[in-house]
Amino acid sequence: MKKYQIIYADPPWRYEHPVSNSRKIENQYPTMELEEIKRLSVPAEENSVLFLWATAPKLLEGLEVMKDWGFNYRSCLVWDKQVLGMGYWFRNQHELLLVGIKGKFSPPPPSQRISSILKEKRGAHSHKPDFMKQFISEWYPDKTKIELFARTNKSNLFQKNDWDTWGNEIKSDIDLSTPPLAITLKKRKMKEYEIPNITKK
């Protein structure tokens, strides 16, 4: 399997206590349980970096996933969506982009480092701003890159798209099939995150 130096991931986190049935995440797209996300075979090089999106309620789960995928936490970025969302303690207006490294991997050059708070108005549900992938491409033009749980193959920002993608809504560039996960999903008999290229028996 091809491996990558840069992993960019936006997992379909499952929420146990939705505000209402009409606002369930599953109404937008299928989700995965924490253990399923942790078991994913991430195609990372021995020296690589992970950029992992997590919401405020999923911060601890995000750190668990990072550790199970073999990365050590280093820093995070805050995306200010500039629009109030839902929430129990606070009405969430931000998401976190966690950064972790595996082995040895250098941060961006000092002249290219950006603020830890970036502002861009929220768009379609779950869509992340393209600026982050653009920054990563500028920081690491010669590194191999993949977006996990991608919902589109291309970005209008890139004249040359140097990203591979994997997800259930697109034609994936690689196969991360894991039969035990597929079997688990089938047994649940519920709306599931489709694992590409698996024949379920």
- Say if residue 133's pLDDT is above 60: yes
pLDDT at 178: 54
pTM (whole model) above 0.85? no
Going along the chain from its start, the domains and CATH numbers come out as 4-175 (3.40.50.150)
Give the Cα separation of 190 and 32 in Å (integer): 11
Structure confidence at residue 167 as a pLDDT band (50, 70, 90): confident
Q: What is the mean pLDDT of residues 143-148?
A: 96
Taking a C-beta distance cutoff of 8 angstroms, is the pair 161, 140 a contact?
no
For the chain, list the strands marked E by DSSP: 4-9, 44-54, 72-80, 94-102, 117-119, 145-148, 163-166
